[in-house]
């Protein structure tokens, strides 16, 4: 899912949710569990700022949990492996990539 403020995407939040939730079409038990989790988050948000802080912390944990399932994780390992083996291109400067996005 792209960030809502990302200029490269014109997808509505509704469209972005559709992409995520379509994965549950054939998973009724997982869909129910996810819906229950959404309800818990909604209830927390309705309690005010302290609840919102708990939801944000929960989202951060979820993002960290999902990272190993992503292609970024695999690419990160491949980069690490090249560096360990000493086969990383000499022209590559890791310092140039800092601050330019997710890496």
- What does the domain layout of the chain look like in residue ranges? 70-103
pLDDT of residue 65: 93
CB of 73 within 8 A of CB of 67? yes
What's the Cα-to-Cα distance from 22 to each of 7, 38, 56, 86, rounded to whole Å?
A: 24, 16, 24, 42
Output the CA angle 71-76-37, nearest 5 degrees.
50
pLDDT tens, residue by residue, 16-40:
999 999 999 999 999 999 999 999 9
Burial readout 35-68 (b: 16 or more C-beta within 10 A, e: otherwise): eeeeeebeebeeeeeeeeeebeeeeeeeeeeeee
Banded model confidence at residue 3, pLDDT cuts 50, 70, 90: low
pLDDT tens, residue by residue, 47-70:
999 999 999 999 999 999 999 999
């Amino acid at each position: 899912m792209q960030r809502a403020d990302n200029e490269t995407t014109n997808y509505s939040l509704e469209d972005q949710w559709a992409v995520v939730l379509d994965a549950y079409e054939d998973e009724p038990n997982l869909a129910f569990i996810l819906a229950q989790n959404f309800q818990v988050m909604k209830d927390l948000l309705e309690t005010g700022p302290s609840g919102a802080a708990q939801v944000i912390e929960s989202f951060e944990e979820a993002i960290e949990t999902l990272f190993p399932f992503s292609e970024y994780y695999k690419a990160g390992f491949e980069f690490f492996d090249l560096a360990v083996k000493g086969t990383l291109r000499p022209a590559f400067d890791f310092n140039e990539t800092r601050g330019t996005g997710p890496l």
